[in-house]
A = this chain, B = another copy of it.
Amino acid sequence: MKNVLNFYEKIENDIKNRILSGELKPLQQIEGENTLKEMYKVSRMTVRQALNNLVNSGYLYRHKGKGTFVCNTKIEKQLRGLIGFTQTMNLYNKTVRNEIIKFSLINPPEQVAVNLMLEDDDKVFEVHRLRYGNEEPILYEKLYISYKQFKNISVQDFENSFYSYLAEKNMKIGFGSQKIDSIKCPKDLIPYFKCDGNEPFLCVKFIGYLDDGRPVEYTESFYLGSKYSFVQTIK
């Protein structure tokens, strides 16, 4: 945590708190840029930087010639970034357990090599995990990462959250691109979920990228349809 806030961050936090506390209500107009500039004794560009950030994160909207207004609160609270399974379960106060089904270093299948932009001889770790929420199997996950990038990774890192591992290494997924399909339970997963082959599953093929656009992970996730939904807010 930083202990010194920039001026624009201070203004941002103040306004955000006034919204969250209910002092500023949805659709209500806030002070104009010139008023804020004098309130905080800063230049107008600094005020604008604060307001722009709040507009981008869905707290405020502007109308030229009219003013700046508070968004309807229903939206703000839903706006989240990319989060993984562990965080999602924590959000709903469910316990998480990961059972490692497979962990091996292999030559990548074609689709993995393409999506991770690998070179000819690059190998990948293939990790299969059965993931439980409140001790019920919810998700079977096939994860692929490049050996070159993660030489020292261990089985244990996958028993906990892979995203936490990334955070420790100061790596952050900046973008994600995903394809979502509805399918019947794949045959090889039937034993894990104790269901029949007609059970609907969400199949999510996800590529995670660093800020610069270089791919880090390719993951195929199979969510038990009756136990899991995707919720998203898009701008």
Contact B176 A233 (CB under 8 A): yes
Using Cβ atoms and an 8 Å threshold, which residues of chain B touch A27? 212-214
Size band of the interface chain A makes with B: 35 or more
Q: Which of B201, B202, B212, B215 contacts A69 (CB 8 A)?
A: B212
Chain A residues 212-235 with CB under 8 Å of chain B are 212-215, 223, 225, 229-235
Q: Which of B71, B180, B184, B212 contacts A202 (CB 8 A)?
A: B180
Which of A74, A176, A181, A182 has the most CB atoms of chain B within a 10 A radius of its CB? Answer: A182
Instruction: Please tell me if A75 contacts chain B, counting CB pairs below 8 Å.
Output: yes
A120 to B80, CA, bound (A): 31
Instruction: Please tell me if A179 contacts chain B, counting CB pairs below 8 Å.
Output: yes
Contact A182 B61 (CB under 8 A): no
Q: Can you list 13 residue pairs at the A/B interface with Cβ under 8 Å?
A: A58-B175, A61-B174, A61-B211, A61-B213, A72-B212, A74-B213, A174-B235, A175-B233, A177-B231, A178-B231, A179-B229, A180-B231, A180-B232
